[in-house]
Amino acid sequence: MSRLGDLGGKLYRGEASYDFIGRRKLWYGVTLALMLISLAGLGVRGLYMGIEFQGGAVFTTPPTKLSVAEARETALDVSGAEPRIQELGSGALRIQVTGLDKAESEKTRAALAEELGLETQELDTELVGPSWGDQMSSKAMQGLAVFLVLVSVYLAIAFEWRMAVGAMGALMHDLAVTIGVYAIVGFEVTPGTVVGILTILSYSLYDTVVVFDKVKEKTRGFGKQSRYTYGELANLGINATVVRSVNTSVVALLPVAGLLFIGTGLLGGGMLKDISLSLFIGLTAGTFSSIFIATPIVVDLKLRDPEIKAHDRRVLGKRAKGGADADAEGESEPVPATAAAPAGSVAAPRAPESGARGRGRPSGRRR
The whole-number mean pLDDT for each consecutive block of 10 residues of the chain, a chain of 367 residues, reads 60 72 92 92 85 80 79 80 75 80 82 80 76 71 84 87 91 90 84 81 86 90 86 90 84 83 62 79 89 93 91 88 54 40 36 42 45
pTM for this one?
0.73
Q: What is the pLDDT of residue 76?
A: 81
How many angstroms separate the CA atoms of 238 and 234, rounded? 7
Which sign, positive or negative, has the C-alpha torsion 184, 187, 188, 191? Answer: negative
How many angstroms separate the CA atoms of 11 and 16, rounded? 5
| Residue ranges in the chain assigned as alpha helix (H) | 3-13, 24-44, 51-54, 68-79, 102-116, 130-158, 161-185, 191-219, 230-257, 264-267, 271-292, 294-302, 306-329
Alpha-carbon distance values, 7 to 11, 22, 35, 240, 321 (Å): 6, 20, 32, 10, 33
- Provide CATH code, domain 3-48+132-302: 1.20.1640.10
Residue 147 in contact with residue 201, Cβ under 8 Å?
yes
Q: What is the pLDDT of residue 15?
A: 65
How many angstroms separate the CA atoms of 360 and 100, rounded? 102
Alpha-carbon distance values, 208 to 88, 230, 266 (Å): 38, 19, 35
| 344: Cα within 13 Å, side-chain hemisphere | 11
Q: Right CATH number for 56-128 from 3.40.190.10, 3.30.70.3400, 3.30.530.20, 3.40.109.10?
A: 3.30.70.3400
Domain boundaries, the chain: 3-48+132-302, 56-128
Pairing of strands 93-98, 84-87: antiparallel
| Residue ranges in 129-190 assigned as alpha helix (H) | 130-158, 161-185
